[in-house]
Amino acid sequence: MPLLDISPRPLRGAPCLAVSGELDIAAVPKLEQALDAAIAGSTGAFFIDVCELEFLDSSGIRALLRARALLGREDRMLALVCPAGPVRRALDVVGVSDLFTIYASRADAAGAVVPPA
């Protein structure tokens, strides 16, 4: 089973965490800790790149919704870089994909970023 890996991968100056491997109940605390630190240390829109995430369970979806709520308190947007595939299907099946701004690729997401002034 691939372990969860989290690394900063900014998009045109916007904060972005790239998440790969498997996001299940055992890995959620690691992701929440990384997200809390990255969100606290940044401003503006925040991106999570899940292009290389192979598995996402309901606890992982809850962690993404939690990050969205944290950002929402500061009127900040959370966007996901999430191509078609199992992770996108999981978000669709649970009915939460409409709660996120979703880009199919890093290039699409980067094109939407307004660089900091």
The pLDDT tens digits for 43-73 are 999 999 999 999 999 999 999 999 999 999 9
Is 117 domain-assigned?
no
Is 14 domain-assigned?
yes
Per-residue pLDDT at 115 exceeds 80: no
Mean pLDDT over residues 23-51, rounded?
97
Per-residue pLDDT at 105 exceeds 60: yes
Is 63 domain-assigned?
yes
Name which residue leads in pLDDT, 116 or 11: 11
The domain that holds 58 is classified in CATH as: 3.30.750.24
Is 87 domain-assigned?
yes
- The interaxial angle of helices 58-72 and 86-94, nearest 10 deg, is 70
Domain that holds residue 43: 5-112
Is 101 domain-assigned?
yes
Q: How many domains does the structure of the chain reveal?
A: 1
Per-residue pLDDT at 91 exceeds 70: yes
pLDDT-above-70 percentage for the chain: 97
